[in-house]
A and B are shown apart, each in its own frame.
Chain A
């Protein structure tokens, strides 16, 4: 069944709430800097920003254990950073530098940091849902309590792999949590124009027998709550869940898209629901001081500046990388 949640208690201790605020600020400032560096022609290729969607990454990452796995899409900067990957290698990867997270071999759309549980960012719509099932199967088989959390956009709900993965996860009762970041727009097309049901992920998931929850994706506390519950269910062997988190991207689909197809009134409505000022106001109401929050914001700004400097200072990837690591032995030979 599909449940719509309105509760937003969030983490019980205040320090964690402050950390969750800092994480959202970091994601916001990082993505803003990534966009600035694109305008300077330093970020090459394409990039897909999570501006406006930070509360989902922050809420989930806070609810996850270190050994849990994240599977992200090409809109994956936020999910990668939220798991604790430092800013410098992520930014350097966007800049194609040798100190990048993957030394420049993956780029913006494929951020991966296995040591942080970030098992990849996947650029083919829907493909990583079955892959997350595989990691969950591995945890189930090996008897660990790891959970795979798989993030994707509302554009993924109409592709075959989505449907195969949901059924597969349900019949194998896998410890996987699917998270649809429903930002209402599938690239340049309104999702409701091309989708036959009102809640594109939750309605389908309910039909496949998954626990389905719709949550305000611009409320980090609410996201944290549903994430904690779904992850706990998965960890306890009670099977997969689908969380549809409603949100809005502040910018276009990718770097070249100004997002002009969206009505001004809609954009204004959602900017008013920006997760950051909302969370900031809530913290102030709960006893945080203006100085405390300003200090967090300044600390993050210094981190982003430092990461920018370090990323820019990174070298050009060497030719030695070109033929490396096609195979597990480190090489690329296909013949003797």
Chain B
């Protein structure tokens, strides 16, 4: 057991897989010599050398096109898109090419690749470097979408994503990079499509993802003190989605609150709300409530950004009000 930051876990997860499989290669901007702009890839160039850990020009289409071409011809590339906002300049390769080619070719090609990216707000970077794009990826058939919330999960889910034969969009909450936890020694390999129940309660179920997971947990502690006992779920992967765990836990408490960093429209909580109302409507004791960032571009100033992204306080207030109404 060693204490590890979320950012250190990224390098450990990638290194774990590069050691066991020569076909795993890594490319991106400033990932090698610089160790990543968020210092998430420190040490990889030294251990694996410049043939396997390759710095690229600022050319996101070239990076993802190269990852795709390599994946369809025998490699298992990991590509970094520095900020998730930059998916907008290479989205064609993701959506039109990587996501669709297996289906269009009647299964002739597979794309065992991982695209990892710094996602979301909390760092006061403003609207073009703070977006939560998990819902962009979730709505595209052919993409798996993984969002870890802590260092141990980063390693295990990274390993599972690299070993998976399908394209995985691996979104790392930038605001969590400096968080620390005790991480078990040795190889860690997790499973995609498995949500985790982090806290069991009897009154309401809070379903959260990525950056919002520690906030949902903190809110649950405060709510418990005022007599509202919450279950907290970390979704961890939007595609595949572990609906069984979520439906079971929502049925048990009779209430669902989603805690989402993404702007309101078409956030993952909307899909979850639809599934819950279609499948366990009669188990509900009250309306499904979504707690999200408002439908606005994210502002830069700390005061404004803090108002926008769901806070512990907003979760507590919203849940309390809804449970007491």
Interface residue ranges, A against B (CB under 8 Å): 69, 101-103, 105-106, 110, 112-114, 119-120, 122-124, 127-139, 141-142, 146, 148, 160-161, 164-165, 167-168, 171-172, 321, 324-330, 332-336
Across the interface, name the chain B residue whose C-beta is closest to A167. Answer: B57
Which residues does chain A contribute within 8 Å of B89, judged by CB atoms?
A: 160
Nearest B residue to A148, CB-CB: B69
Contact of A142 among B74, B107, B239 (CB under 8 A): B74
Are the C-beta atoms of B105 and A141 separated by less than 8 Å? Answer: no
Contacting pair B69 A136 (CB below 8 A): yes
Contacts of B66 in A (CB 8 A): 130-131, 133-134, 137, 168
How far apart are the CA atoms of A123 and B102 in the complex, in Å?
15
Asked if B70 and A325 make an inter-chain contact with CB atoms under 8 angstroms apart, the answer reads no
Residues of B close to A138: CB separation below 8 A: 69-70, 73-75
* Complex: A128 Cα to B93 Cα, angstroms: 9
Assess whether B110 is in contact with A131, with CB atoms less than 8 Å apart: no
Which residues does chain A contribute within 8 Å of B107, judged by CB atoms? 324-325, 330
> Shortest distance in angstroms between A12's beta carbon and chain B's nearest beta carbon?
31
Q: In whole angstroms, what is the CA distance A146 to B69 when docked?
A: 13
4 smallest CB-CB distances across A and B, nearest first, come from A134-B69, A130-B65, A328-B165, A325-B107
Kindly provide the distance from the CB of A297 to the nearest chain B CB, expressed in whole angstroms.
33
* Contact flag A161-B112 (CB < 8 Å), given A127-B96, A326-B103, A335-B241: no
**Residue in A120, A130, A321 whose beta carbon sits within 8 Å of that of B64 in the complex:** A130
Q: Find out whether the CB atom of B103 lies under 8 angstroms from the CB atom of A135.
A: no
Q: Is the CB of B69 within 8 A of A336?
A: no
* Chain A nearest CB, measured from B1 CB (Å): 31
User: A164 and B61 in contact (CB under 8 A), knowing A120-B101, A131-B97, A325-B102?
Assistant: yes
Nearest CB in chain B: distance from A334 CB, A: 5
User: Which residues of B line the A interface, CB within 8 A?
Assistant: 25, 51, 54, 56-57, 59-75, 77, 89, 92-93, 96-97, 101-110, 112, 141-142, 164-166, 193, 239-244, 275
Is there an interface contact between B69 and A164, defined as CB atoms closer than 8 Å?
Answer: no
> Which chain B residues border A167 with CB–CB below 8 Å?
57, 59, 62
Q: What are 18 of the A-B contact pairs (CB < 8 Å)? A: A102-B104, A130-B93, A134-B66, A134-B70, A134-B73, A137-B66, A137-B75, A138-B74, A141-B75, A161-B62, A161-B92, A164-B60, A165-B61, A167-B62, A168-B57, A168-B62, A328-B112, A334-B240
Contact: B240 with A110, CB < 8 Å? no
Q: Quick check: B108 and A135 within 8 Å, CB to CB?
A: no
Complex contact A334–B241 (CB within 8 A):
yes
Q: Is the pair B104, A106 in contact by a Cβ cutoff of 8 Å?
A: yes
Given contacts A135-B73, A334-B239, contact A112 B105 (CB under 8 A): yes
- A336 lies within 8 A of B240 (CB): yes
CB pair A110–B110 under 8 Å, yes or no, is: no
> Considering the chains assembled together, what is the distance between the CA atoms of A128 and B101 in angstroms?
12
Name 8 extra pairs, CB < 8 A, besides A134-B77, A332-B141. A110-B104, A112-B101, A135-B70, A139-B73, A160-B61, A167-B59, A168-B66, A335-B275
Expressed in whole angstroms, the minimum distance between the Cβ of B71 and any Cβ of chain A is 7
Is A114 in contact with B108, judged by CB distance below 8 angstroms?
Answer: yes
Q: How far is the CA of A130 from the CA of B75 in the complex (A)?
A: 16
Residue of B nearest to A71 (CB): B69
A105 lies within 8 A of B105 (CB): yes
Assess whether A135 is in contact with B69, with CB atoms less than 8 Å apart.
Answer: yes
Contact A165 B109, CB 8 Å, known A120-B101, A132-B69, A135-B73: no
Q: In the assembled complex, how far is the CB of residue A212 from the closest CB belonging to chain B, in whole angstroms?
A: 19
Closest chain A residue to B105, Cβ basis: A112
User: A132 CA to B67 CA in the complex, in Å?
Assistant: 10
Q: Is there contact, CB below 8 Å, between B243 and A112?
A: no
Asked whether B106 lies within 8 Å of A325 as measured between CB atoms, the reply is: yes
Cα distance A137–B243 when bound, in Å?
Answer: 39
The answer to whether residues A130 and B104 also contact, given A69-B73, A138-B73 and a CB cut-off of 8 A, is no
Q: Which residue of B lies closest to A133 (CB)?
A: B66
Evaluate contact between B243 and A335: CB separation under 8 angstroms. yes
Give the contacting residue for B193; candidates A168, A324, A336; CB below 8 A. A336
Q: Which residues of A contact B112 (CB under 8 A)?
A: 328
Q: What is the distance, in angstroms, from B311's C-beta to the closest C-beta of chain A? A: 30
Complex interface: chain A residues within 8 A of B51 (CB): 141
| Contact (Cβ within 8 A) B72 A129 | no
Residues in B whose Cβ lies below 8 Å from that of A133? 62, 65-66, 69
Query: Which residues of A have CB within 8 Å of B243?
Result: 335-336
Please give, as numbers and ranges, the residues of chain B lying within 8 Å of A137 by CB-CB distance: 66, 69-70, 75
Neighbouring B residues of A168 by C-beta, 8 Å: 56-57, 59, 62, 66
